[in-house]
Amino acid sequence: MFSQTTKAHVPSYVLLKYHEASAFQALPSPAFFSMKFFLLLLLKLHLGLLYACLVVNQPQLFLPWSSSTMATPTHLYPGVNLALREMPEREFNFKDEYLFYPIGFPEYSGSESTIMPVKEVAMMILMDVFTDKPDWHKKVFDETIVQKWRDEARQQGEDGLYAKILQDKLGQGPRKPRDRIVTDAAFDYCVEELRGKAMYFAQSGLIPTFDGPGNTIIKSDSFIDENLHRDLNRACYTLWKDQEGNVDWHPRSNHMVQNLIHPSMHNFVYDRSPFIQDEVVGVSNALDFMGKGEPVRGQTPLVRENEFRSKFGIGSGKVLPEYWSDRYQWLPANVGFREDGSAEFTSYVNNLHPTKFPEIYRTIERLVDRAIPAWDQCLREVPRFGDETFAGRDKSRFEWIHEAFDEDDDLWTPEFDVEEFLHKDVELTHQELRDLEEECYHDAEDPVEFDEDEYQRRMNEGLPPLTPNVDDEAMAEVKWVKYRDAILPDPKPFEEIDYTPKQSLWEKFKKDGLQIIVKMASIELTPEKPEFSDGSWHLEGQMNEKIAATALYYFDSENVTPSRLSFRMQTSSYLNDDIKAGQDGYNYLERVYGTDLGAQGGFARSCVQSYGDVGTPEGRLLAFPNVFQHRVSSFKLQDPTKPGHRRFIALWLVDPHRRILSTANVPPQQKDWWTGSGEVPGGLTDVEEARAHRLKLMDERTAEKARFHWEAIDYNFCEH
């Protein structure tokens, strides 16, 4: 019914209705339905076709932009001429070859991590520590030095390590094992893995760290050369001086975070910001387009609300509608590639004046050149069918546990011995003793009646309850169950890992280029404000921006204590489909994985896996996919009598599989950039209006709603 040319003019939410109607052709014959239901389906078919025909014949009634020629648009954009919440991977008719980079919002397809054993996370933390050592990539081949590392690891206490693995789990979680978590076998595995990473680092300059199956973080302290490091500092100083007298303090930061470039100012506002369908706004010509374009009408969801409200667990693809915004979007800059493969901004960076700071543009382009190989290393491309594409580790270091039953004595240490544990100094609570007494009472042939008054009296006096029906073996066994440790499996035999990227962003997307959002900030501490508090767990952007990956570079730290960036990921909530365990008998699995798996009074059961934290010293480049929830740790002044600061730049890569509207479509909106003669054109905003919109945008993007959904989905082994 629609030609390919015509389809380009039809909003996807119209095509969706047409396809929904067309889909009825594949339904069973009317014999399967009541006549009434079939007539309703037939009516929907005709209405859908009528609506679609109307769009074809009268498109100006539906298209959100003005067009007299109706030329075929080069690109279609969500929220403009595609449905804002369009997710082709959720439509029944999308192409098999549809690809995407996952995002870590609750329910997003491909956003989950394979749950890893406590021991595996401990090994990743240990390897990250070793790769922070100077010349680690050489020392790891020196057996004398490796032996020193082994001795140091054996002497280190593991309380802090275990606490880090279980951080932010609600409740206490499973008890830390008495035996070493990092065993000799685990340490030897780490050495073999580090030697492989050292060889890759020697050729690439990049270190994959905290690399679980299909998910990795990249770090390097040598990937950014001295010249680029110096030029980024110069760029920061230039922008810092440019703000003198009118500092842009980030809202709610207590005047501690100075925004030098930030996408929340003068962001795209539906029904307000000008939009041009063709990507004509560049860098050098950006100011020429100020005042041109037409606002885009905001879309209300024209899809079934219950389609988004249904929750089917992490990775189901059912992203809740509140993770989109009907009002705001950050604007990326378009990035193309020169003939030599280097990056070039083809549209202006929002909030970085395009003609006033040309050298800063060139400097950030050079940083993009260095970020791309790091993104190649950590991005994971997900298809509708078939295998995912990514570099590095594709499976756990440990064998998957297919079944485990607490009744299996071979899973525990030490072995059960009646005499040993009858006299073992294991304190049992009143409730544990009472539960044991009741169990033995029901099993006894001639039970002694339970005296509730006597039980209450002894409890009031701090005395243990009497247990006349409990025999020695039962008492010894309950002590053993409370005392015993799970035998944590050791890793599989080491296998070499291929860290070479399987694809290149440059090669894959050189035709249309990339879209990148830029942020530069300085955290300023003073004797009056000497400490910066912990951040909150968050992802970058909303679904509108489709941010696939982050690159962070820390280029200036002065008089501040070290800070770290913590990472965690969602895991599947359907472990009970993959692991066979007894009814309420999964304590062994809880010990192995470091999380409560049921609702038997424990609360550490949200489907979140801690990966650890990475240091953020000056000169470090970090890159990671936007499936990782992350937060910054607190830091403070080293010398509390002097000021200090930490300065960094962030590059956020928009998923290049799905183009979004950018600064190539939206001319600069800053009223104070207008240099033309005559009346200031419409569509420009002053600082006060831009700040008001920024506050509303921040309110929309509160981390609390994501935190609630992350913690609301939990493991459940209670029913089988």
Q: What percent of the chain stands above pLDDT 70? A: 82
Read off the pLDDT of each residue in 344-367 and give the average, rounded to a whole number.
99
Please report the pLDDT score of residue 599 as a whole number: 53
Is residue 376 within a helix (H) or strand (E), and if so which, with residue range? helix 358-378
Please report the pLDDT score of residue 592 as a whole number: 95
Residue closest to 348 by CA, chosen among 339, 357, 340, 383: 357
Structure tokens at 338: 């020169």
Please report the pLDDT score of residue 408 as a whole number: 92
Structure tokens at 690: 């831009």
For residue 180, the SS3 value is coil
Q: Are 331 and 663 in contact (CB under 8 A)?
A: yes
393/382 Cα distance (integer angstroms)? 16
The verdict on 479 and 514 lying in the same domain is no
| DSSP structural state of residue 518 | E
For residue 612, the SS3 value is strand
pLDDT at residue 55 tops 50: no
Please report the pLDDT score of residue 43 as a whole number: 57
Q: Are 262 and 701 in contact (CB under 8 A)?
A: no
Domain carrying residue 292: 218-393+498-572+607-712
583/590 Cα distance (integer angstroms)? 14
Read off the pLDDT of residues 279-300 as tens digits, 9 standing for 90 and up. Answer: 999 999 999 999 999 999 987 6
Could you tell me if residue 41 is inside a domain?
A: yes
Picking from 51, 72, 95, the residue at the C-terminal end of a domain is 95
| DSSP structural state of residue 492 | P
Read off the pLDDT of residues 520-540 as tens digits, 9 standing for 90 and up. Answer: 999 999 999 999 999 999 999
Q: DSSP for 215-239?
A: EEEEEESSSS-HHHHHHHHHHHHHH
Could you tell me if residue 404 is inside a domain?
A: no
Structure tokens at 299: 């879309």
* Omega prior to 530 cis, within 30 of 0: no
pLDDT at residue 487 tops 80: yes
Q: What are phi and psi of 519, to 5 degrees?
A: -135, 135
Could you tell me if residue 204 is inside a domain?
A: no
Q: Which of 61-65, 186-190, 701-705 has the highest mean pLDDT?
A: 186-190
Beta strand residue intervals within 412-509, DSSP E: 412-413, 485-486
Read off the pLDDT of residues 427-437 as tens digits, 9 standing for 90 and up. Answer: 888 788 888 88
Please report the pLDDT score of residue 59 as a whole number: 39
Picking from 95, 116, 145, the residue at the C-terminal end of a domain is 95
The verdict on 454 and 551 lying in the same domain is no
Question: What's the residue count for the chain?
Answer: 720
Does residue 414 or residue 423 have the better pLDDT? Answer: 414
The verdict on 242 and 360 lying in the same domain is yes
Read off the pLDDT of residues 611-656 as tens digits, 9 standing for 90 and up. Answer: 999 999 999 999 999 999 999 999 999 999 999 999 999 999 999 9
677 Cβ partners below 8 Å, 6+ apart? Answer: none
Q: DSSP for 679-701?
A: SPPTT-B-HHHHHHHHHHHHHHT
For the ranges 224-233, 375-384, 422-431, 597-606, the lowest mean pLDDT is seen at 597-606
pLDDT at residue 6 tops 50: no
The verdict on 436 and 331 lying in the same domain is no
Q: DSSP for 99-117?
A: EE----STT-TT-EEPP--
Could you tell me if residue 71 is inside a domain?
A: yes
Looking only at the bridges linking them, the beta strands covering 564-571 and 112-113 are: parallel
pLDDT at residue 152 tops 60: yes
The verdict on 562 and 652 lying in the same domain is yes
* Angle made by CA atoms 530, 534, 537, in degrees to the nearest 5: 160
356/372 Cα distance (integer angstroms)? 26
Question: For residue 642, what are the CA distances in angstroms to 203, 261, 527?
Answer: 41, 26, 6
The verdict on 669 and 564 lying in the same domain is yes
Picking from 459, 483, 507, the residue at the C-terminal end of a domain is 483
Read off the pLDDT of residues 190-223 as tens digits, 9 standing for 90 and up. Answer: 999 999 999 999 999 999 999 999 999 999 999 9
134/619 Cα distance (integer angstroms)? 14
Q: Is 528 exposed, middle or buried (0-12, 13-18, 19+ CB in 10 A)?
A: exposed
Give the total number of structural domains in the chain: 3
Residue closest to 523 by CA, chosen among 249, 152, 148, 180: 249
Structure tokens at 315: 């990775």
The verdict on 383 and 302 lying in the same domain is yes
Please report the pLDDT score of residue 573 as a whole number: 77
For residue 194, the tally of other CB atoms under 10 A from its CB is 23
Read off the pLDDT of each residue in 160-183 and give the average, rounded to a whole number.
85
The model's pTM: 0.85
Half-sphere exposure (Cβ direction) of 483: Cα atoms closer than 13 Å: 20
Beta strand residue intervals within 57-125, DSSP E: 99-100, 112-113
Instruction: Name residue 358's beta-bridge partners.
Output: none
Structure tokens at 529: 């404000």
The verdict on 458 and 559 lying in the same domain is no
The verdict on 457 and 509 lying in the same domain is no
Could you tell me if residue 458 is inside a domain?
A: yes
Read off the pLDDT of residues 654-708 as tens digits, 9 standing for 90 and up. Answer: 999 999 999 999 999 999 999 877 788 888 999 999 999 999 999 988 755 555 5
Does residue 39 or residue 22 have the better pLDDT? Answer: 39
Give the pLDDT band (50/70/90) at residue 544.
very high
The verdict on 462 and 509 lying in the same domain is no
The verdict on 508 and 384 lying in the same domain is yes
Could you tell me if residue 131 is inside a domain?
A: no
For the ranges 216-230, 300-314, 398-412, 542-556, the lowest mean pLDDT is seen at 300-314
The verdict on 386 and 513 lying in the same domain is yes
